[in-house]
Amino acid sequence: MPIPTIFDRILDGEIPCHRVYEDEHVLSFLDVSPISRGHALVIPKERKAHLHELSDESAAAIGRVLPRIARAVMAATGCEHYNVLQNNGAQAHQSVFHVHFHVIPHIGDQGLGVDWKPGTLADGEALAQAIRAHLEPNGTQPPYTL
């Protein structure tokens, strides 16, 4: 049995948190080490380490809740700009191995800084086709065209 993460312990009631939202699939609470005022976390109650491991039901629940949390954080903090951050794997800077999304308000000089180094898209159509092929369980193309 894997060692429980801090989010498992929060879900189990062992560690308190400042809850901002909860339903049967999702919990949202304030980050105890915030980058900016209002920095909130949104986690599924399904205990999976990576986004691609989530059930469709949990993923849909997260998708419904994230915009609501973002609107509430904006209203409560007065921020006009924010980031939604989600990391998968140690190389992608994931430190807690339970799926989680950060809603990080950008207020003044507080917020998430990103050093983005754009590359080039050399094989766009071939890559898009390869990705589309993996979206359908039987490997067929989806019933739409781009």
**Active-site residue, selected from the candidate residues 39, 98, 100, 102:** 100
Does residue 89 come out as left (phi exceeding 0), alpha (psi in the -120 to 50 range) or beta?
A: left
Residues 6+ apart with CB under 8 A from 77: 37, 38, 105, 107
Alpha helices in 1-146 (DSSP H): 6-11, 56-77, 124-133
Query: Is residue 106 flagged as an active site residue?
Result: no
Which amino acid is residue 38, in one-letter code? G
Q: Which residues are catalytic?
A: 100
